[in-house]
Amino acid sequence: MRLTGKQLLIITVLISLLLAYVVWDEYYTPLTGSRLERYWDLIEKHNSQKKTAPSENNVSQSGPNRDTTKQSNASSEPHNELKRMLERFELTEEVWEAVNMDDLEESKELLEKMNSGAAAFALAHVAVIQSEYEEKEKYYRQAVELDPNNSDYLSVLGVHLSKTGRHEEALGYAERSLAIELKTKAPDHSDVATRWANLGATLYYLGEHQKAIEYGEKALEIDLKNLGEEHPNIAIRWSNLGYYWRDLGEYEKAVDYFEKAAANNIDNFGSDNYRLGDRWEALGNAWMDLGKDGKARKYYEQAVSNGEKNLSDRSRVMARRLYLLGFSLHSLGEYRAAMRAYTRSRRIYSDILGKDHPDTKHVIELYRQAQLDRVPWLVPEPK
C-alpha cells in the first residue's frame, strides 16, 4: 500500500517528535569513545568515590560520627539554644551567669570581657549559633590556650579540625584529650569511651582502619556496660564500626552494624527521625558493594524519602542520596527512573555549587550515560 503525501508528512512529524522527546533535552550531547569502556569508567569512578574517606568535598557517603556538642536547632530561641549546647560541659559560675542572660548579644558582651578558657569556649558556641565559623575556631583555640589541660576543649577542637579535613593536627588533640581522661577517670568511664571513639574516627580518616576498629570497639564495650544497648549513643558506636569494616571490604559486617544502628534509632526516635537517613544511605552503599543492587535501591529510596522530610531543598546530602539512588536504578536497567533521580541531584548541585563543580558534572555525565543506555540505537558507535 502506497502512502499519500499527507500520511508521510504525519509519520515524519511523529517520528521527529519522538526523537526530540527521547534525545534532545538540555543535557544531551553525543558521547565519544567506546560506550562499554565509558560505562565501566563511570562505575570505576563511582567505586573509587565510595572508598574515599568521606568529606565535605566528596560525593561519597556520610562518614563516622564524632561525639561533640549537639547540633543547633534552628527553632529554638538563640539564648536558650546556647544554654542547651553548653549544658553537658563544666563551666564556671561566672560564665553560666553570662550564658543565662535573656539576650544572646548581652551574653556575648559579658563573655568577651572575661579572660578564661570557659568564656572562650562559650563564645565559640555563640559563633556557631551566629554562623560565624571562622570565629568559632578562633575561640576553640583560645579556650585551649587558656586551659590546655581541659579535656573537653581539646576534644572539641580536635573534632572541629577533623571535620574540616585537618586530620593530622586533629590527631594530636584527640590523643591529648584521651590521655587526660585516662589519668583523671576510671578506664570504663563514659567520657573515656567518647575519647576512644573520637580518636578512632580521626584515625579512620587517616587510613588507620584497624586502629579505628580497635578504638571503636573499646568505646562500644564501655558504653554497652554503662548505658545498655538501647541507649542512642550505642547507635553511633555501631554505625562507626560499620563504616570502618566497610572500608576494609567486610561488607556483611558493615550491614550488620548499620542494621543494628537503624533499629536503635527507630526505637529511640521513631521511623521518621533524621538520623535514619544516614543509616539507610550507609546500608544502600554496603549492599551495592555486595552486588545486591535491588536491596541497595530500597535503602536509597528510604534515604531520599527521609531527606524529603528532614532536609532542606538545597542540601548536598539530599543531592548525594539522589545521585546514589540514580546509580542503583541505572545498574538495574531502570534508565528512565535513573535519569529522573540524576536530574533532581543535578539541580541541587548546580544550585548550590554551580554548573562547573565536579559533583555537578559527574551527575550530568551519569545522566547522559543512562540516556544512551536507554536508547543506544539513537547514537551510533564512533568509528
Per-residue confidence (pLDDT) for residue 96, from 0 to 100: 75
Per-residue confidence (pLDDT) for residue 2, from 0 to 100: 66
Per-residue confidence (pLDDT) for residue 372, from 0 to 100: 87
Above pLDDT 70, what percent of the chain? 75
Q: Is residue 121 part of a domain?
A: yes
Q: Is residue 144 part of a domain?
A: yes
Supply the range of the domain harboring residue 125. 92-148
Residue among 278, 268, 178, 184 nearest 219 (CA): 178
Per-residue confidence (pLDDT) for residue 91, from 0 to 100: 75
**How far is Cα 306 from Cα 285, in angstroms, rounded to an integer?**
16
Q: Quick check: 191 pLDDT over 80?
A: yes
Which among 36-45, 208-217, 371-380 has the top mean pLDDT? 208-217
Q: Is residue 217 part of a domain?
A: no
Q: Quick check: 217 pLDDT over 70?
A: yes
Q: Is residue 70 part of a domain?
A: no
Q: Is residue 134 part of a domain?
A: yes
Q: Quick check: 197 pLDDT over 90?
A: yes
Confidence label for 382 from pLDDT (cuts 50, 70 and 90): very low
pLDDT tens-digit readout, 129-153: 888 878 899 999 999 999 999 999 9
pLDDT tens-digit readout, 149-185: 999 999 999 999 998 899 999 999 999 999 999 999 9
Domain count, the chain: 1
Per-residue confidence (pLDDT) for residue 62, from 0 to 100: 59
**How far is Cα 376 from Cα 383, in angstroms, rounded to an integer?**
15
Q: Is residue 131 part of a domain?
A: yes
Per-residue confidence (pLDDT) for residue 13, from 0 to 100: 60
User: Model pTM?
Assistant: 0.76
CATH of the domain at 131: 1.25.40.10
